[in-house]
Structure 1
Amino acid sequence: MPATDPAIINLLQCIDLEEKEQVKRYSLDQQHTLKSLKAEGLALHPISVIRKNFGYADYPEIGFRLNFPAETNLFKDGAAIECFISGEEPVKGVLINLDGKAGEFRLFAPDFPDWIEDAGVGIKLAPDQRTTTLMKTALNNLEKNPELYRLFRQLHEPSFQKNTIEATRFPALSFRNKNLNESQQKAVQAIVANEQITIVHGPPGTGKTTTLTEAIVQLVHAGEKVLVAAPSNTAVDNIAKALLAQAVKILRVGNSTKVDEAIFVHTPEGKLANSKQQKELKQLKIRAEEFRKMALKYKRSFGKSEKEQRNLLFKEVKNIRKEIKKLQAYNEEKLYNEADVILGTPVGLYDARINQLTFHTLLMDEAGQCIEPLAWCIFPLAQKYVLAGDHLQLPPTLLSNEAAQKGLNKSILEICIATAGNGFLLNTQYRMREAIAGFSGHYFY
């Protein structure tokens, strides 16, 4: 059943506007030629394929080189892309990384296109339909979840009574980090006492990550299972490192190719790297690849019996890959249960299939950069929420001006600060010069 709430409908319309603007900007057509896309930094062409393998979730992965370093900063790690060649249907994928003249991307397809090593192959930015679909699904499901929908209405009701926590209700805590200032200590106490939403905000350099780390340690010590999210992989890894320094049992989920090297051993792939289970998976992947190569020996023009043989071989490849996915899911579920804290980006957490677990608290860092619909993708995973960030920094970037005007550029942090209360300002600056920090703190906060 489609959404009926006007605020939800507005957000869905905003997502559609943003998606249309992305399609318009990234299209390869009469108005947007390959030459113009390259000039705008929206396409890399031609590319030379230097490596092919099956990687994350058994998707095809391609390493490539350019003739010259890319003169664009739009091809960020994790960007949605399409791999194309003239006269063929493009294949959707995601950019894993791009560094100078070398890069790597993953295709959302069961196999490599037949033309992948032909001359004239390129990649171009594409609408992020995967994230768009996740956000639409989350919003359309909101009204079916009474508790979550009640929270949504509270955040969108101007008359909503702010539910502040009185200082007298703060629990007495034995802080592990003895260097916390008074504002950080109060924020940690508020997070531990949190019953619905608590906000920790302040300018850069005021110790938000330090505060969140202490709060997570306290929650784990109290027996909670905690979920940690941030829109950027860098922010997720920063908290992961801080928690590891406190000997917290963590699991970092998501695309392991975007994870800091020091954190990789704490991803499902890293933890299983030399295990008996991984050796079993490797043998299955080798078998699948052998059958795939046998099938590819039958070229595009062949007779009926060859076609049947090719189809049988591909069917066997498909069956083996199903077995691989089942085994991976079993191994990962065990790791999920063992961890006290699971960390990832919103999309990474959504993809991790952890909805069968019970998380008491979800903490989101950099919440000032997370658009509201993306937050609702992971809010169903927990019972209580902590949002940290700086709502006075630049808002999330959008292509559609109309979507921004209708409210899609408002972050979940900005919305919560306006209606939910429970805001704790960190007021001690550890990075800026005192004069600058004093001015910004007084003027903006």
Structure 2
Amino acid sequence: CTLDRDLSKFSGMFFRLDGDEGVVGLSMHLSNLSRLMENSQNSERLRELVVDLRSPEFITNLSSVLPREAKDIVANILKGLNKPQKQAMKKVLLSKDYTLIVGMPGTGKTTTICTLVRILHACGFSVLLTSYTHSAVDNILLKLKRFRVGFLRLGQGQKVHPEILPYTEGSVRKERDVHTLSDLEQLYNRELVVATTCMGIKHPIFTRRQFDFCIVDEASQISQPICLGPLFYARRFVLVGDHQQLPPIVQNHEARTLGMDESLFKRLELHGDAVVQLNVQYRMNRQIMSLSNSLMYDGRLECGSERTATALLTLPLLLPVQSELLSFSQSHPELDLSWVQATLLPSNAVCFLDSSLVPALESVEQGGVSNHTEAALVHMLLSLLIKAGCKPGDIGVIAPYRQQLKTISTLLQSPAFTEVEVNTVDRYQGRDKSLIVLSFVRSTAEEGHLGELLKDWRRLNVAITRAKHKLLMVGSVTTLRRYSPVEKLLNHLQQENMIIQLPPAAHKALPSMHL
């Protein structure tokens, strides 16, 4: 590290520095594992916890942790939290090793982390805040800056949120006129809170600083070797995630089979006494939440308020659209439009449109799998919903295959659809929309190879929990029952009368209406 080198004898020489970021990602796995095997007290302790799976320890008396001058501040901060969030704060403060916080969908994970940092900061603890992505780190910092908690953000300026740029090393160095190593060291040690991605641990600051706590957001999405990196620099750590949502991305099938997609979060979760579950959610209404409860959480997920539980999609112009549909169906008695009327109703917060009777077969092209009829149905429904007053920016479309996303995007070229977001499940992790339309794509009469994407329980869970007020799903029940996760979902939908059977000519029903 440059900070540890005496460069005075090179005073007459010029040096050229080249950054090679490509190598960092590849070598980080190996260097973290290599460090884990070092003969040092720090590495030995971490091995006990993550390799030998020694049970984490906790102290029993909270008053011994909280400084007297911080008690009123902490009590005031805790007032805005629900019961599980308060339990999480207490568990972290009592920990001697680590705590796991399970952030179920919509439970305010980012708010919880922000509050935890505020409490630790008020107690005088130093905090290393990390995540796998720059956006996740900055989302927490954007909340944190509102409370005037100072922090230093490490990382390249072009990857940092514009509002966080004043807190980056480069900006602070200019502001404070840093010229000497002593100035630089003071800058690195000044703030109690330092934030960076898991890949940013090669920064010189980590050769000199140890932290009281390390918080890792998105921990269930990070591979174990990468997640280990920041943990070397803290006495205690907090992993925040949910292994029922997206796992670490591992392309190689053999590597997945051998356990590469198991996160450290999942590995340590067997110690139940270290786990706190955030199960009070403020995103989904009761009908949408019931799907996730049935699929993954065994009824543990709860609505944070009656307002959340009963919230519905707002369609201020629905009546004129309903009248137009009624008039259209009267002049075209051969067309059954009852399914359209039922689908548009805000009170029907969850609708699965079964296309089994519709000629809506998938097509496998060079770019991947798509379903043109499903795409047309999605386009038609979005046209009606926007006409009924749904804001395009409140709409998200999800499909498991990129080719289907391209097909749908091609149909949504009109300016009316500009703000409609069409994306994969992975791009929606951590976010939500008032209305989500999910196209399942697969529809075939053959009993052939089943695609991998629809076999993943976790991806399905993320997809259905992005919706706040209304969730529309389009797919062939006949085909989708071959996929275990979707079959379980369909059984719940059938039990709750949430499946609408589309008539054979559903895809031809509305082309002549001026949408």
TM-score w.r.t. structure 1 length?
A: 0.56
1:398 matched to 2:287: no
SS at structure 1 position matched to 2:269: helix
CA contact (8 A) 1:250 1:343 kept: yes
Residues 26-85 of structure 1, C-alpha deviations (whole Å, 9 max, x = no match): xxxxxxxxxxxxxxxxxxxxxxxxxxxxxxx9867xxxxxxxxxxxxxxxxxxxxxxxxx
Aligned to 2:165: 264
State the percentage of identical aligned residues: 27
Aligned to 1:345: 197
Aligned to 1:182: 83
**Paired letter, 1:199:** L
**Paired letter, 1:236:** V
Aligned to 2:505: none
Distance 2:288 2:279 in 1: 13
C-alpha spacing 1:221/1:209, structure 2 compared with 1 (3 Å): same
Aligned to 2:285: 433
Match runs of 1:1-400 below 5 Å: 128-143=22-37, 144-157=39-52, 160-161=54-55, 163=57, 173-277=74-178, 327=180, 331-400=183-252
SS at structure 1 position matched to 2:239: strand
Distance 2:76 2:93 in 1: 12
CA contact (8 A) 1:366 1:388 kept: yes
Aligned to 2:511: none
Q: CA deviation at 1:436?
A: 2.1
Q: CA deviation at 1:421?
A: 4.1
Residues 153-190 of structure 1, C-alpha deviations (whole Å, 9 max, x = no match): 443347x4465777999978514153211011111111
Aligned to 2:357: none
Residues 6-39 of structure 1, C-alpha deviations (whole Å, 9 max, x = no match): xxxxxxxxxxxxxxxxxxxxxxxxxxxxxxxxxx
CA contact (8 A) 2:60 2:94 kept: no
Distance 2:149 2:33 in 1: 33
Distance 1:336 1:134 in 2: 23
Q: CA deviation at 1:142?
A: 1.6
CA contact (8 A) 2:217 2:240 kept: yes
Return 5+ residue gaps in structure 1 as ranges: 1-56, 61-91, 95-127, 281-326
Greater displacement, 133-142 / 148-157: 148-157
CA contact (8 A) 2:78 2:86 kept: no
State how many pairs are aligned: 275
Higher relative contact order (CA 8 A, sep 6+): 1
CA contact (8 A) 2:42 2:232 kept: no
SS at structure 2 position matched to 1:354: helix
CA contact (8 A) 1:206 1:427 kept: yes
SS at structure 1 position matched to 2:244: coil
**Paired letter, 2:46:** L
Q: CA deviation at 1:430?
A: 1.1
C-alpha spacing 1:438/1:149, structure 2 compared with 1 (3 Å): farther
Distance 2:145 2:78 in 1: 14
**Paired letter, 2:268:** C
SS at structure 1 position matched to 2:31: helix
Aligned to 2:415: none
Q: RMSD in angstroms over aligned alpha carbons? A: 2.8
Aligned to 1:51: none
SS at structure 1 position matched to 2:267: helix
CA contact (8 A) 1:346 1:375 kept: yes
Greater displacement, 389-398 / 221-230: 389-398
SS at structure 1 position matched to 2:167: coil
1:412 matched to 2:260: no
Q: CA deviation at 1:201?
A: 0.7
Distance 2:201 2:35 in 1: 17
CA contact (8 A) 1:252 1:343 kept: yes
Greater displacement, 385-394 / 138-147: 138-147
Distance 1:265 1:58 in 2: 27
**Paired letter, 2:26:** T
Q: CA deviation at 1:331?
A: 4.4
C-alpha spacing 1:405/1:270, structure 2 compared with 1 (3 Å): same
SS at structure 2 position matched to 1:350: coil
**Paired letter, 2:149:** V
Q: CA deviation at 1:417?
A: 0.9
C-alpha spacing 1:186/1:58, structure 2 compared with 1 (3 Å): farther
Q: CA deviation at 1:351?
A: 2.2
CA contact (8 A) 2:56 2:96 kept: no
CA contact (8 A) 1:198 1:422 kept: yes
TM-score w.r.t. structure 2 length?
A: 0.49
CA contact (8 A) 1:358 1:381 kept: yes
Larger Rg over CA atoms: 2
Q: CA deviation at 1:146?
A: 3.3
Q: CA deviation at 1:419?
A: 4.3
C-alpha spacing 1:162/1:362, structure 2 compared with 1 (3 Å): closer
**Paired letter, 2:30:** K
C-alpha spacing 1:140/1:207, structure 2 compared with 1 (3 Å): same
Distance 2:86 2:202 in 1: 31
